[in-house]
Amino acid sequence: MQKVARKIVVTLVLCLLLTIPMLINTNVYAQSTTLIVESPPEPVPTESFFDVYIHVDSFFDIFYFGIMFTYDTTMIDAVDALAVPPFETSYKMIDDASGLIIIEGFGGPVTGIAKLTEFRFKCTRAGTSPLTIADAYLADPAGFQIPIDNIINGIVTQTTWYFKPPYPDYAPSGVPDFDQKQLPYWTNPWPPIGTWSYCGPVAVANSLWWLDSEFEPNPIPPPIINDGFPLVQSYAPGVWDDHDPLNVQPLVDDLAFLMNTNGMRYGTQNLCGTEVHQMANAINEYLIRQGLDWKFYVHLQKAPSFLWIEDEVKKCQDVVLLLGFWQESQGTWWRVGGHYVTVAGVDSLNMMLAISDPYIDWAETGGMGRVLPPPPHPHTGIPETLHNDAAYVSHDYYPIGQSPSPGGPFGFYEYPAEYVIDNFGSCQNTPDEFIQMDGEYVPGLPIFTEIEYAVVTSCKTGIVAAGSEDTNIYVWDYYGAFQWQFALGNPVVSVAMDNNGRFIAAGTRSPFAPITGSVWLFDTALGGPPGNILWVQTVPVAVSYNGGWAGTESKSVDVKYNAYNGYVVVAAATDEGIYLYDQSGSLIWLFNHQSPETLVRISQDGNYIVCLGNSDGQVHYFSHMRNGVPGWQAADGVPVWESIDVHAFWAAISGDGSYIAYSGGTWPMPDRIHLISMHSAPYPKMVWEYILSVSAFWRVDMPCSGKSVVTVNDDPSDTVGAIAIYWDDGNDGWDGGDSTPVWTYWPGKETGGAQIPTDDFYTVAISENGGYVATGGAPANIYLLKNAGMLQQKMGLMPHRIQSVDLSFEGKYGAAVDWSGTIWFFDKDTGFILSWANPMQMPFHCVAVSKLYPCIYPYPNHDIKATDIKTCKDSGTPTPVLTLHNTAHVNATVLNGGVFTESFQVAVYANSTLIGVKTVSNLGPGLQTTLEFIWNTTGWTKGKYTLHVQASIVTDEIDVYDNSYIGAISIRLTKKGDVKPDDAVNVLDLIVVAGVLGTNPSSPNWNPNADVKHDHAINVLDLIVVAGALGT
């Protein structure tokens, strides 16, 4: 009764709130306005997340809105609600117990069709839930009410089934369902002669076709010829598409030969159908031939359980099952045949599988299943080619349960084995180990349909590494499959990976005096330890958190590839300063200013480093071009910039080093977040600073593009509580106006809750593409948010506080570790994948996820390249010269190597000093442009300078190594009249000028060094200038 009364009160209050704008001002409009609930078009699997949008279709300018939304809370739970840009959320409240959301917003204005709000839900139970706009208002910028003429509500259907998803090019109904009854030679040449025996290659063709459709980067369905992914290719290039129905038969023929179906490849006698081990070897051979063994791999699982199959299918792996038909009499078992099928879906709650069966379309004949498009299908009989159009499928449902035969512990209940046994009897598709158990079918005895093998084609994932107080480093793949561990002697306080996850750096530190520690470098391409240990160096690695000997996470080691060095470099923050090592373990440089360094970060391109120390709070920035030679050299170990006016705690660096963000403050001043642009002339400058509400331990992060910043706080005073604050550049570049946060989040904000003073965030990570933010702490939850501020998922409660979190490049996968020694693997779309507990229950202090991994490709192709840099002095002999207090023209060329129109910045440097920055707007795919810069050398120092151009990294750009280009020619800045140059003006300089008198830039013997007046002509005036400087 109390719950009902509460719901009534809440509803009345919210209804009143929604009507306030209508009471304030009204106006009469003649045009119609419609609100539309956009619900998921397909059934949503239970335990998964989905989004619902509210659209408006109006002739008028909409500036204000308010929506009261109801749903069936017994079937779905609300996660978050947010206004969709250009609208901002002004108020929201989620009462999940009552199935009620209220949200108000303002912005725009917008006219026509636009999204107003986004709601995120989690499906908890099967059924159908209405999605209803219970009340709403719209108003224009002046506050006049806009009448709502129509409301189109929605529904969402929840199902216990999970199906491998459809793809437009071309698996529009999910996993294809090709038929094996097509060509006369797809039959058995051995007794029983004439039975259809190509179920193995057909089942694999279903699998590979679906995978090829999943990874097609530019999906255009057949008959248009379009193929951007080479897993399945046209067998008649230029005649038909790789996904044309005509391509099915040659694909099956190709696979059948590779897997020795019917013994055709090796002349194997009495081989009926396909032997499962030869199938697996053939798929692997096919992958190698297609050049995709770097991305996919094949593995066999004998007698898999239902849970194992379920797990593989939900990871979107391709699973082909070998079903064995078994009979028994008086305790004796024999195998009477076998058949291959492809798994299309799984019902976890009811322990059922949906399959594409190459021989029978059981759902079409009235059995359980789904038939797409809705039946009847216009079959024509043998040859059964209708399903070669992958839109036509019969996904047949079968319950799975335990089974007693030798074929395996799990089998298909209700499979119509008696219906198909005449085709699959005797030796059909027999694994080598069961040949001796082959026998004849005995009518009248039951047939047990067993799952003998699963043949799985998997996409290779990335890896996750975590360091523990138990002294071990542990490594898994994204799905939590354990790879290896190794004891490093001391507690592991920091781990890091290069972009591809090949190299892992780990730092250790003893908890007690005397302090000892070490830095380790592992190469995962060499397998597990000790064989993959490249080197170890003894140094006292620091901890980044000064609240304890190890505290929460530390960012005191890092490793990145530097294209100019041609290898990875490892940086370590230690009590003795910053050590930079090369891939072989040799020291490149040591930066020691008599104070410990506690945090170090290397830019994704490996060219820049930022570090700081908690004890003195100074921030230091290093460039690989400090000495004018590309790649890290000993002379680069001196900062090119540093900040000493703020006591810094944490720092982040963009992928190309163009921006750094750091937190800190100087007592009694409040803490601040600082954003520094390194693309500022003549020196780096602060773009903005943000004054924080409380002094705390503020951690910061930024994506590869540097276009956003996020910070979270650990509030030891327990006066404010945890908060995440997010800024971005508005997609028009950073400026001082961007210091206002775009959004904030604290635990419970999504439901209207206030901050709780005892809450803390101990870690934060933003995906390198900037799409997602992950944080956590106490309470022991992981919070995953979209970059618009909407809560994507809340995962918890964990056993203890979250210590560290990291995300893959696109935020699809992540991992978090906690104080109790547990690691949690998660997927942004489905939540937790798996957890693993340290047997000693000792804390994990750090976790790192490989940003890039084989399965991410093909990724949307954003790629900016710097391709050339030239000056008007390049042809100067014997070396190009530019005199001080003069100018030179510098031309930088950049190319858009991707498939999207891009806007970005281009910076030109001489060594590590900026010459200038320009913006390129809307450069189309495949186009290049050349920008002219003026290099004014007034105030510069004499010396040798190497010019290089840096194009900023755009959102979603993966290849960051070609964004910079370093000129092959160096220019010497010298004094007026020093033409040779040798730092002296004498008669030899006069001789050089006299030798080219009367020339200009079009002359074959033009020497720009002799053009000391910079007027593009060499004449007596240049001689006069040199003569006037003689003896200097």
Per-residue pLDDT reduced to its tens digit, 667-701: 667 789 999 998 876 778 999 999 998 878 899 99
- CATH code, domain with 767: 2.130.10.10
Coil, strand, or helix at residue 482?
strand
For residue 196, list its beta bridge partners: 187
Question: Residue 743 CB: number of other CB atoms within 10 A?
Answer: 21
Residue 988 maps to which CATH number?
1.10.1330.10
Query: Are 219 and 319 in the same domain?
Result: yes
Q: Is the peptide bond between 668 and the residue preceding it cis, with omega within 30 degrees of 0?
A: yes
Q: What are phi and psi of 53, to 5 degrees?
A: -115, 145
Domain closes at, from 932, 948, 974:
974
Give pLDDT, residue 14.
45
pLDDT (tens digit, 9 = 90+) per residue, 836-864? 988 888 999 899 999 999 999 988 899 99
Say which CATH number the domain at 960 has: 2.60.40.10
Question: Among 283-297, 311-325, 974-988, which range has the highest average pLDDT?
Answer: 283-297
The alpha-carbon radius of gyration of the chain (Å, integer) is 33
Report whether 60 contacts 140 (CB < 8 A). Answer: yes
Proportion of the chain above pLDDT 70, given as a percent? 96
544 with 688, same domain: the answer is yes
**Tokens at 539, concatenated:** 């140094």
User: Is residue 239 predicted with pLDDT exceeding 50?
Assistant: yes
Which amino acid does the sequence have at 223?
P
Same domain for 206 and 315: yes
pLDDT digits (tens, 9 = 90+) for 611-653: 999 888 899 999 999 999 999 999 999 999 998 778 899 999 9
CA 458/CA 318 separation, integer angstroms:
6
- Same domain? For 592 and 696 the reply is yes
Q: Is 274 in the same domain as 304?
A: yes
102 shares its domain with 220:
no
Residue 668's alpha-carbon distances to 647, 663, 929, in angstroms, are 11, 15, 50
Residues 6+ apart with CB under 8 A from 753: 747
Count of structural domains, the chain: 5
Backbone angles phi, psi at 606, to 5 degrees: 75, 10
d(CA 83, CA 765): 24
> 440 and 569 share a domain?
no
Listed residues 159, 176, 201: the one ending a domain:
159
What are the structure tokens assigned to 862, written together? 């954003």
Give residue-wise pLDDT tens across range 140-167: 999 999 999 999 999 999 999 999 999 9
State yes or no: pLDDT of 798 exceeds 80. Answer: no
Long-range contacts of 253-260 (CB under 8 A, 24+ apart): 253/201, 254/286, 255/201, 255/204, 255/205, 255/208, 255/282, 255/286, 256/186, 256/198, 256/200, 256/201, 258/282, 258/283, 258/285, 258/286, 259/200, 259/201, 259/204, 259/283
Q: How many residues belong to the chain?
A: 1032
Q: How many CB atoms lie within 10 A of CB 998?
A: 10
Distances (CA, A) of 398 to 401, 954, 1013: 10, 48, 88
pLDDT at residue number 252: 98
Is residue 469 domain-shared with residue 444, that is, in the same domain? Answer: no
Residue 455 is which amino acid? V
- Residue 259's pLDDT band (cuts 50, 70, 90): very high
pLDDT of residue 681: 67
- Name the nearest CA neighbour of 598 among 567, 621, 577, 620: 577
The 8-class DSSP code of residue 145 comes to B
Q: Is the pLDDT of residue 426 over 60?
A: yes
d(CA 788, CA 84): 8
Alpha-carbon gap, residue 474 to 472, rounded angstroms: 6
The least confident of 693-697, 701-705, 722-726 is: 693-697
Q: Is 526 in the same domain as 383?
A: no
Higher confidence at residue 421 or residue 695? 421
Q: What are phi and psi of 986, to 5 degrees?
A: -150, -165
Strands (E), 720-873: 724-728, 743-745, 760-766, 772-778, 782-786, 791-795, 802-807, 813-818, 822-827, 831-837, 844-849, 864-871
Beta pairing, strands 393-402 & 154-159 = unpaired
Instruction: For residue 893, give the amino acid letter.
Output: T
Residue 53: CATH number of its domain: 2.60.40.680
- Residues 150, 278, single domain; the answer is no
Least confident span in 17-31, 77-91, 926-940 = 17-31
| For residues 226-244, average pLDDT | 96
pLDDT at res. 270: 85
pLDDT > 60? residue 212? yes
pLDDT at res. 546? 60
Residue 582 sits at φ, ψ, to 5 deg, of -90, -175
SS3 state of residue 238: coil
482 and 382 in a single domain? The answer is no
Is the distance from CB of 81 to CB of 120 less than 8 angstroms? yes
Q: How far is CA 250 from CA 172, 234, 245, 291, 319, in A?
A: 21, 9, 10, 19, 22
Kindly tell me if the per-residue pLDDT of 989 is higher than 90. no
- Examine the fold and report which residue of 408, 441, 459 is the final residue of a domain before the chain moves on: 459
Amino acid at the residue 759: D
Token readout for 869 is: 């840099």
Domain hosting residue 1031, numbered range:
977-1032
Query: Helix, strand, or coil here: 214?
Result: helix
Q: Are residues 966 and 996 in the same domain?
A: no
